[in-house]
Structure 1
Amino acid sequence: MDLFFKYLQYEKRYSPHTLTSYHTDLGQFAQYLQKVYEITDAAEADHAIIRSWILSLVQRNLEPRSINRKIACLRTYYRFLLGQQRIKANPMLRIKAPKASKKLPGFVPEEPFNNFLDSFTFEDTFEGQRDRLILEFLYGTGMRLAELINIEHANIDLHAKTVRVLGKGNKERIVPINDSLYTCLEDYLAYKKAAVSDNNSEKLLVTTKARPLYPKFVYRVVKKYISLVTTSEHNSPHVLRHSFATHLLNNGADLNAIKDLLGHASLAATQVYTHNSIEKLKSIFEKAHPKA
């Protein structure tokens, strides 16, 4: 398994989040094999044993999406074992994943959220300006949480008004910086220079002790401010990414352009946002079509 995770990290360049999830999934599978079948090597498990583990997950009422992620982990693992000639046949070929209901991505309402960003008075401190920048960055660029906390000063080009984002699989993309975000950046950098003792930190977003921000920190910030705008349970950093895409689409942006801005590998991943925009399309239809 150690060799497998080195393969994922250095050759496949999986994200730290995926690596952590796969560590958990494989660990749970290994515990199941040992406890139920007294098997200490996953290479010895056949499709019937693997299916019994999946069934046990279903019986525990685990979400289909979580089960499918665990199945995806095992598919990757057994393909690796086959490539390493540790097994003669891939037992995952006979495993079918349960169907998961497609949940439409949640998003914040466009007008109230924009009014909030324009009118809310953030604290006139380093912390207050950092909170503001977090919201503006997530909503203004549509980047992922992991991409946000890994932004370095070298990735920002204030002259060209762009930010270089390192996405999944170490794929780089260039995202434009809007005027509002540009102003936030300038304000934040001034406060950071005055408030943070170690200004040699490469990371753009840091704590007052110059340590890089971590996911839970950003979650708390986003949840705090989104709750002032909406009572919806959708208040994670990823919701601002969904909002970015949905609002762009509602205002006539090209789907391919949104795909490139989000860093999606295929258009299929971006098309989910067209479902969120159907109400907008209905509204336009009712106003414009003579038979509506």
Structure 2
Amino acid sequence: MLTESAFLDYLRYERNYSDKTIVSYSSDICQFREFIQEEVEVADWASVNSQIVRSWIVSLMDKGYTATSVNRKLSSLRSLYKFLLRRNELEVDPLRKIVGPKNKKILPSFLKEGEMNDLLDKTDFGKGFVACRDRLIIEMFYATGIRLSELIGLNDMDVDIPGCLLKVTGKRNKQRLIPFGDELKGSILTYKGIKTEEMQRLSGAFFVRLNGEPLYSGLVYNIVKRNLSKVVTLKKRSPHVLRHTFATSMLNNEAELEAVKELLGHSSLSATEIYTHTTFEELKKVYKQAHPRS
């Protein structure tokens, strides 16, 4: 179809979309074109109505497409019809009142309190600088809820040991202070002592490799994944799982939602509220296990 080609040229030359994005749009539109021509026998874009679009949505869901995939395809189709309206090639947008399927909310993975206790209190991390550093990384994620990028970005001056405070730089360079307790303070002091003794050259970064250079994200990810594998069989075993564990533990122990929001560095409560669903799911599990008539 000539219209389809003109639309893709518009995306490429006027909107400056990448080749990969244009291929996705083209694939979605081609799939819809085949549907209207073969399934409902409609020959042109102007003859499409909202009922045809709804039928397409149902056919995609029947084929096993997720809500996320269907909504992405609808987004491509919406862009096409907006383009056609601007060119006066049709008068009514058939997607004007179309609502896509709701995406399922995926609850964040987290470790239970007992699993974290086993990891920090019963797991043998070994001896020496690397073992001490790796254990502190796990403990700091769990005790403060900081992001991977925030942990890597910590400098020595950002760790106020007497005041038990971390100064972290989060998204959009927004800084915040995170308090920590005596247990983490003791681990930090132990790490700092070994670091001072063994490092001949220091970069100013708080967490470093054996050569004194800062850590990188892949290394920290592997440290966390390797150690979480010792106590859990979760599919996800990433630094973010420990951030989820921090938030869930705080709420399970009656922390205020607003306080957890500030500690995590979320810009709005909606991002933090997902953990209330997590804790409720945990309550349901406890209920089913404990109540005799559940």
**Where on the TM-score scale, by shorter chain, does this alignment land: which range?**
0.5 to 0.7
Q: Cα gap change, 1:261/1:210 in structure 2, threshold over 3 Å: closer, same or farther?
A: same
Q: Distance in 2 between matches of 1:58 and 1:225?
A: 45
Q: Deviations over 1:208-245 (max 9, x none)?
A: 11111111101110011111111111201000000000
Match of 1:226 among 225, 228, 235: 228
Q: Are residues 1:52 and 2:54 paired?
A: no
5+ residue gaps, structure 2, are 1-5, 33-63, 76-95
CA contact (8 A) 2:136 2:187 kept: yes
In structure 2, the partner of 1:133 is 136
Question: Does structure 2 retain, via aligned residues, the 8 Å contact 1:250–1:280?
Answer: no
Q: Give secondary structure in 2 for the equivalent of 1:173.
A: strand
For 1:258, the aligned partner's letter is V
How far residue 169 of structure 1 moved from its aligned partner, in angstroms, is: 1.1
Deviations 1:175-224 (A, max 9, x none): 0112221111111111111222212x111011111111111101110011
Q: Structure 1 residues 283 and 52, CA, compared in 2 at 3 Å: closer, same or farther?
A: closer
Residue ranges of structure 1 left out of the alignment (5+ in a row): 1-32, 73-92
Does residue 158 of structure 2 align to residue 155 of structure 1? Answer: yes
Q: Percent identity?
A: 38
Q: Which residue of 2 aligns with 1:22?
A: none
Query: Residue 143 of structure 1 aligns with which residue?
Result: 146
Q: Matched residues in 2 for 1:128 and 1:190: separation?
A: 14
SS in 2 for 1:118: helix
Q: Map of 1:1-292 to 2, 5 A cutoff?
A: 39-40=12-13, 42-43=15-16, 52-53=25-26, 55=28, 99-199=102-202, 201-282=203-284
Structure 1 residues 284 and 99, CA gap change in structure 2 (3 angstroms): closer
- Contact 2:152 2:207 (C-alpha < 8 Å) held by counterparts: yes
Q: Give the RMSD, CA atoms, in angstroms.
A: 4.1
Question: Which letter maps to 1:157?
Answer: D
Q: How does the TM-score come out when normalised to structure 1? A: 0.67
1:42 Cα shift? Answer: 3.0
CA contact (8 A) 1:57 1:67 kept: no
Distance in 2 between residues matched to 1:56 and 1:125, nearest whole Å: 58
Conserved 8 A contact 2:11-2:17: no
Contact 1:110–1:247, Cα closer than 8 Å, also in 2: yes
Counterpart of 2:196, as a letter, is K
Partner of 2:50: none
Q: Shift of residue 251 of structure 1? A: 1.2
TM-score (norm 2): 0.67
State the secondary structure of the residue aligned to 2:176. strand
Structure 2 CA distance, aligned partners of 1:100 and 1:110? 30
Match of 2:127, SS state, is coil
1:5 matched residue in structure 2: none
